[in-house]
Amino acid sequence: MSRSTSPDPPADLLGPVQGEVSWFCCGTAWGPCSSTGKGACGTCNSGSMQHAWPNTSDACWAITRPDSCGVGLSRRTCGFRHRTTALCSGVSVVTAIADCGPQTDLFCGERSCCGATCADNRLIDLTPAAYSQIASLSTGLRPCEISAA
Amino acid sequence: MRSRRDLLKSAVLGGGAGVVAATALGSLGPEAAFATTAPAIEPGTPDPNFAEGRIRSIKENTLLVLGSNMVFHTIRVVDGTSLWKLGPVGFDQAKPGDGLYARGVRMPDGMLAAEAVWLNIVNIKGHIKNITSQTIHLDHNGHEVLCHVVAGKSVAIHSESPATSDLSMLKVSQHVQILGAWRPDTNEVDIATVFSPH
Amino acid sequence: MHGIAASQPYVIAVFLIWAGLMKLLSRRMRAQAGQTALARLTGATRAVPALRLVGLVELAVAAALLLPPVHPLDGVAAALLAAGFLAYLSYAYVAAPTSSCGCLGAHSRPVDLRAFLRAGVLLAAGLVAIGAGPYPPLAPLVLLEVVILLGLSAELDRYWLTPTRRLLVRLRRPLAALPPGDVPLETTLHLLRRSPAYCSASARLTSDVRETWDEDGVRFLVYGARERSAVFAVPLAGDDPAAIRVALVDEAALA
């Protein structure tokens, strides 16, 4: 399975990794979310403390491909807990994996900053309930640090 | 008698005599470092201080909301509550049928005292299928979403560059994230921000 | 009339050869087999063998259509195959609405109206081909039908539809910058979120923007910060995040 392993050790294996965090809706809800469903793990709900991770399975990795932006990420499966900390404010939230995403490869090299601190590439997507704990939903995209919780 | 806005203005720009507890600085000091630790919520479970759903009815300052999980929420909006609908708006902009997310403090009687309410907010990713007059046709998971450019409001952010109201740099077939306000019961969205990776 | 019927085997064969070869040779298509509606029908592990089998059947029918002698059964086989496509598309549309069809190439778009139209045209061509005799085909008709079918193929959009739309967008500039008016609030907010002032205060903010107004070239934004308010002053001219100032104010004291 050469597709699922990148030549470098995963960036999040030894310590926190910095990247961009966004939010997504899930669970059959209103608006464009109506067709989204419960996510790859079958448990995703916008109101729950959950997130999407780009490497939950081989099939997931084949879609998100963070390695094409030069980022290796560890395989973490449904229910695994990550802590996402907003850079600058230091506010953090712990969530459990409920879906596959974001599509890191489609936004390679994108950068978000707050103050003088910046982070590259989309590495995690939080549910609205989780994202709104660390930033306003209207921000849409923020730099963050991700670690295993 | 100075107006409230005058007092807020003088607090932030300096010279604000008579304003209590104002800390006017270029930025706030190390006091901010004690990031308040909210009581941890079990990961994977619903957050009791958060609500999601559609407004069924509005009575005085209270929104009755039906969640997509068929749970009813009573949400109280007060003076200190922020409301968002393609930007900050007043309470009169909340309408039955609007979708919403709300964050606040859950009271013992089950009511959510809202600190922030976001009406019809959506944050969708997809590729641009076509661009027509002031409209972006977005392919979001195989479904077309018509995204309208709103003069004076919609902006594009190309990675690190400052936000610009010039959206003409966007290209057909490129991937974007669109933050905007859904028009209830349609596949249409008014654009607040288009995030483009380059 | 004879010419019309005699043209159909060639139209169908072109499409079946394309579809069959893609299924047998495209590595990308095999890699994505698990995400097609076929995988839902056969199970993910059998998706690739099923894809190959369908490809072989398509090539066999194409060969029967092209090679003499002309036989009504050729048309029957083509019509049956096209009817099978339609049934499969209907299944995909109902059972796996977010999956791609895996018909003529690798792409991630789900089954839509164009896919149904294409299968319908192929079915009609198959039915007409049943009556085909040993007559020469009408070249312009074959060409026209092939062009219509290609136009209905979402797999090929990136070669003609996307470039055409790009060209039109470049010529018409549908999103051309509007005449400069006031600075949009989102522009101010983006600058604000990059500022050291916002950075230092963001841990205390409990609401989104509550109030905003412009005065003397400065935009003021008020956020809730627990029982206090955070007031930001953002100069409307310039884009230096360091010029932004913040104050925490006890609103109760203002009343």
Mean pLDDT throughout B186-198?
94
d(CA C177, CA C175): 6
The CATH class that applies to domain B121-196 reads mainly beta
Question: What are the structural domains, with CATH classification, of chain A?
Answer: 16-148 (2.40.40.10)
Q: How far, in Å, are A99, B109, C216, C231 from residue B41 at the CA level?
A: 19, 19, 45, 30
B50-119 and B121-196 in the same fold: yes
| C194/A89 touch (CB, cutoff 8 Å), yes or no | no
- Give the residue, A30 or C105, on which the prediction is more confident: A30
Cβ contacts of B106-109, under 8 Å, gap ≥ 24: B106/B48, B106/B49
CA distances to A21, A22, C254 from A132, in Å: 12, 10, 29
Average pLDDT over residues C174-202: 86
SS3 C249: strand
Residue C207 pLDDT exceeds 60? yes
- pLDDT, mean of residues B111-127: 96
Spatial distance between the Cα atoms of B96 and B107, rounded to a whole number of angstroms: 23
Chain A positions touching C97 (Cβ under 8 A) are 35
Strands C218-225 and A50-53: unpaired
Q: Give the CA distances from residue C240 to residues A120, C28, C110, in Å, rounded to whole numbers and listed in that order.
A: 21, 47, 46
Residue C108 forms contact with B (CB below 8 Å):
yes
Is A135 near chain C, with CB under 8 Å? yes
Cβ(B120)–Cβ(A31) under 8 Å? yes
> In chain B, what are the domain boundaries?
50-119, 121-196
Amino acid at A100: C
Q: Which of A5-9, A133-137, C83-87, C102-106 reaches the highest mean pLDDT? A: A133-137
Instruction: Pick the residue from chain B with its C-alpha nearest to A44.
Output: B44
Q: Read off φ and ψ for residue C209, nearest 5 degrees.
A: -60, 125
Q: Which CATH superfamily is domain B50-119 in?
A: Copper binding periplasmic protein CusF (2.40.50.320)
Q: What is the pLDDT of residue B22?
A: 44
Q: With bands split at pLDDT 50, 70 and 90, how would you rate the model's confidence at A5?
A: very low
pTM over 0.95: no
Query: Are A91 and C193 a contacting pair at CB < 8 A?
Result: no
Which residues are registered as beta bridge partners of C222?
Answer: C211, C231
Mean of all residue pLDDT scores within chain C: 84
pLDDT at B31 over 60: no
| Domain boundaries, given as residue ranges, for chain C | 2-172, 185-254
Q: Is the pLDDT of residue B19 over 50?
A: no
Q: What is the pLDDT of residues A101-122, one digit of tens each?
A: 999 999 999 999 888 889 999 9
User: How large is the ipTM?
Assistant: 0.91
> Which among B177, B72, B51, B170 has a CA at the least distance from the CA of B119?
B51
Residue keyed to tokens 């060639």: C10
Quick one: pLDDT at residue B17?
A: 35
Is C241 in Cβ contact with A139 (below 8 Å)? Answer: no
